[in-house]
Amino acid sequence: DQQVKQNSPSLSVQEGRISILNCDYTNSMFDYFLWYKKYPAEGPTFLISISSIKDKNEDGRFTVFLNKSAKHLSLHIVPSQPGDSAVYFCAARSNSGGSNYKLTFGKGTLLTVNP
């Protein structure tokens, strides 16, 4: 069973517009959420994170929103730039059972920002 779901395999937006990437989760024990960005032939790089005690975290053009009741989070990129084109992975960490080292990833969303 997939505990972290990214239902959109791909997303295409125009440069300067907003990109919204969505992520849903099922495990109520997840207490920390992360977004990673991955370019081809490179490993994922950490982008932004949010603790379950917050509902929003902002870092420059990137904002992550968390809706715990809906078990949903989203990543907003404003304004989108061509260099943002990459695969974005949503990941979550559970703090139960001493497993806070383990990240559970979604399948990723390929974002393409068109000039």
Distance of alpha carbon 57 from alpha carbon 85, whole angstroms: 21
Cβ proximity to other proteins: between 17 and 102 the closer is 102
62 binds other proteins, rule: CB under 8 A: no
Q: Can you tell me which of 8, 76, 107, 112 binds other proteins, judged by CB under 8 A?
A: 107
Residues 40-59 that bind other proteins (CB under 8 A): 41-46, 49
**CA atoms within a 13 Å half-sphere pointing along the CA-CB vector of 39:** 6
Residue count at the site for other proteins (CB under 8 A)?
Answer: 26
Pairing between β-strand 56-59 and β-strand 62-67 as defined by DSSP bridges: antiparallel
